[in-house]
Amino acid sequence: MKPAATRIARESKVRLSKWDPDEDAIIGKDKSDALERLDENRARLETLQELLYAEGRHKLLVVLQAMDTAGKDSTIRYVFQGADPLGVKVASFKAPTPYELARDYLWRVHHHVPGAGEIAIFNRSHYEDVLVPRVNGWIDAAECKRRYRQINDFERMLAETGTTLLKFYLHISKDEQKKRLEERRDTPEKQWKFHTGDLAVREQWDAYMDAYEAALSATSTDHAPWHVIPANNKLARNLMVSALLIEALENLKMRYPEPEAGIADIEIV
């Protein structure tokens, strides 16, 4: 079963209220069948990731953006469960350090893009620099527009030098976030994830929705499309993301490298 349409068309005006965060049709009527399909997707991704690494030609950059509790960490954990750590790396971008602030905002990001044969996953990304500063009034509208253009140019350069980009916005509702924050607060094994600062960001929910809509509208391009992934249902989220990753990797038409000549005749003693 294919995921519902998630891709944001180039130059379209995004209104996140039109996307249902509860959308879970991809699961179907039988949850056990959906879990089996997720296992199959993970096995297929494992094979494709090995092929990507073996061929050593293509690069894949996966960008995950979302409000707190939407499941960036768990998407990585469950979707890439069988991936070889030699060929997959995860970068997480938090508040920039003074050293990073002394340089352009893309400097710290470029260090983490994938090399040939690699998958790089950004758990938050360069998009933090057109979200957090905008919401907090640290940059004006003109600077924000400049950054959209610079990000598009940066991603175009990556695409033109062999990187496939997939950008996922994990879309949860404010009510679902409330449930997940309460679960973190009340579950001893999850309390380490609960930060009072998350509540301050939650109070800015509407401002962040505006900032996300603007960023998604300005930066979903043919070479680096955004996908809105309904994320209130974790299983549906993982199925959608894994299916889109498989589609992107299969479209690369990868092949294992040719073996060395004459190896079939080599006797191993």
| pLDDT averaged over every residue in the chain | 94
Domain 16-255 falls under CATH 3.20.20.150: no
Residue whose C-alpha is closest to residue 143's, from 135, 156, 152, 134 = 134
CA distances from 145 to 27, 63, 236 (A): 38, 20, 34
CA distance 2 to 244: 9
CA distance 222 to 232: 27
Instruction: Give the pairing of strands 163-171 and 226-230.
Output: parallel
CA distance 21 to 230: 4
The pTM for the full model equals 0.94
Lowest-confidence pick of 73-82, 168-177, 211-220? 73-82
Q: What is the domain partition of the chain in residue ranges?
A: 16-255
- For 260, half-sphere exposure in the C-beta direction (CA atoms, 13 angstrom radius) is 3
| 264 confidence band (pLDDT: 50, 70, 90) | confident
pLDDT at residue 3 is higher than 60: no
* Residues 32-85: tens digit of each pLDDT: 999 999 999 999 999 999 999 999 999 999 999 999 999 999 999 999 988 888
Tokens encoding 114 = 């994938």
Give the whole-angstrom CA distance, residue 43 versus residue 218. Answer: 35
